Amino acid sequence: MSARADTPATQQKQSMNVWSVSALGIGSMVGAGIFALLGQAALMAGKDVYLSFLIGGVTALLSGYSYARLAARYPTSGGIMDYFNRAFPSRIASGALSIVYLVTLIVTVAMIAKTFGAYANRLMLGDASPHVFTNVFASAIVIVLVALNMIGSEAVGRAEVALVAIKLTILVVLMLAGLPGIQPRMLTGGVGVDAATLLASVGLTFFAYAGFGMMANAAGEVAAPEKTIPRAIVLAIGLVIVLYVGLSLVVLGNVSATDLARFADTAVAEAARPVLGHAGFVIVSIGALLATASAINATLFSALHISKGLAAERQLPEIFGRSSWGQGTQGMVWAAAAMLAMVNLLDLGAIANIAGANFLISYLAVFVAHWRLRRDAGGSSLLIVAGFTLMAVVLAAFVASLWKTQPVAIALTLLVILASAAVEGLLQRRRATP
């Protein structure tokens, strides 16, 4: 029997439209992207960082195409977890990939929190304040937003569109004010990089777009997912590409290489100082705090629902679905402990590299899932292959670069993959035991 048009279920289905879904994606991308990674990417790609953001955006559009087709065909809140379960007959494979993605979200929260801490430290205590306060502020925002998600994130969810509007306004004003003042000699006189390094840097800049995947989790909350989700993904990624490329030019054209190296973690606010003065620095820093806080909230929301879904499917230990406090779970408490450990033990660059590698691996698996489900989900085989190939090349270049500069990131990434497969294998063996 079909539900009536005025039932609560139907009302919930119509609770999100293309703008609110796009706001969710933009909120995740912008908070986790430009504020957190522009400085780190510029250190890696030099004066070619705008090309890195452009290539990262093209990669994200191709990946978003597969996400859009899958979300339109399977409009559930499970998102990537549901796609893996449908595409891969092996429960160990699908479960392990889902756990890798969940761990990636946890690492992402730690990275964004570290960025929040860096901006809060400079804004409140000044340039000369001890680095330890970055970790204090970062730990505080993790604790506050984890508690908020446990209580219930409905109020924060309603505020997401407003938060996105505020931070986009600040960034657009900075971009429009900064573009005319760009010093050409700073853009042309910087150090360029070879093709391999440029592609390796896309491992970071793609991560700046990776939040678009969270829009797929909203497919179960919209009235016409087959139209709304694809439009929202293209709209969100397209707007963010323009923003990222423009802001990368503003940063490179207004911040010296010396200052960029010194203030890499807060590069966007540093770019506001010569353009808009100290007041601009303060305003952009406040925007960064709003952006990173909203991105942490969106990521925690996604991680909480994925962990509950995996526990319900018995692809995670039961503890991850066991209630702890409010809407939270005991697994959420353990995840928060892991976030706090990373915030206090690793620097921003190390966390970003680990998260970037894991995101590339997870999103490569989405291409494979789309290929296996293409007869049911539809889609162009050419675009699937093109997207997979481009992302695989980026991952290979990124891993090669990490092997030279930060091999510990490779070791930790492999540990995540192996541990995820081991946990899933153990769970499935227990499940099969009479």
DSSP 328-378: -BHHHHHHHHHHHHHHHHS-HHHHHHHHHHHHHHHHHHHHHHHHHTHHHH-
Task: Note the pLDDT of residue 351.
Answer: 86
Distances (CA, A) of 73 to 101, 184, 224, 247: 21, 48, 11, 35
Task: Note the pLDDT of residue 385.
Answer: 96
Q: From the centroid of its chain, how far is CA 17?
A: 21
75-85 average pLDDT score: 79
In 3D space, the residue among 195, 170, 352, 359 whose CA is nearest the CA of residue 269 turns out to be 170
What pLDDT, in 10s, does the model give residues 93-145? 888 898 898 888 888 889 889 989 989 998 888 777 778 889 999 999 999 88
Is 4 exposed, middle or buried, given 0-12, 13-18 or 19+ CB atoms closer than 10 A?
A: exposed
Q: Which residues are 16's β-sheet partners?
A: 222
Q: For the domain bounded by 9-427, which CATH number is listed?
A: 1.20.1740.10
Task: Note the pLDDT of residue 9.
Answer: 41
Q: How does residue 238 score in pLDDT terms, banded at 50, 70 and 90?
A: very high
d(CA 344, CA 329): 23
Task: Note the pLDDT of residue 16.
Answer: 67
Write out the two tokens for 391.
Answer: 């992302």
Q: How does residue 155 score in pLDDT terms, banded at 50, 70 and 90?
A: very low
Write out the two tokens for 97.
Answer: 């990939």
Q: Express as a percent the part of the chain with pLDDT over 70.
A: 87
Domain boundaries, the chain: 9-427
DSSP type of residue 208:
T
Write out the two tokens for 296.
Answer: 């942490």
d(CA 210, CA 364): 12
Distances (CA, A) of 277 to 36, 273, 333, 400: 21, 4, 42, 40
Task: Note the pLDDT of residue 141.
Answer: 92
268-295 average pLDDT score: 83
Provide the CB-side half-sphere exposure for 137 (13 A, CA): 23
Task: Note the pLDDT of residue 53.
Answer: 93
Q: How does residue 393 score in pLDDT terms, banded at 50, 70 and 90?
A: very high
Name, in order, each residue with C-beta under 8 angstroms of 199's C-beta and a sequence gap of 6 or more. 55, 393, 394, 397, 398
323-346 average pLDDT score: 80
- pLDDT of 59 higher than 90: yes
Q: Which amino acid is at 354?
A: I
Q: Which of 98-112, 163-177, 359-373, 405-419 has the lowest mean pLDDT?
A: 163-177
236-257 average pLDDT score: 85
Write out the two tokens for 315.
Answer: 């692809």
Q: 81-84 contacts: CB < 8 A, separation 24 or more?
A: 81/306, 81/309, 81/310, 81/313, 83/366, 83/369, 83/370, 83/373, 84/365, 84/369
d(CA 34, CA 183): 21
Q: How does residue 399 score in pLDDT terms, banded at 50, 70 and 90?
A: very high
Task: Note the pLDDT of residue 296.
Answer: 84
Q: Which of 26-35, 287-296, 315-324 has the lowest mean pLDDT?
A: 315-324
Residue with the larger pLDDT of the pair 398 and 192: 398
Buried residues in 130-152 as b, exposed as e (16+ CB within 10 A): eeebbbebbbebbeebbebbbee
d(CA 176, CA 199): 28
- pLDDT of 432 higher than 70: no
What pLDDT, in 10s, does the model give residues 408-425? 889 989 998 998 888 888
320-333 average pLDDT score: 69
Task: Note the pLDDT of residue 367.
Answer: 95
Provide the CB-side half-sphere exposure for 10 (13 A, CA): 6
For the chain, the straight-line distance linking the first and the last C-alpha, in angstroms and rounded, comes to: 37
Q: Please state, rounded to an integer, the average pLDDT across all residues of the chain.
A: 81
Write out the two tokens for 213.
Answer: 């995947």
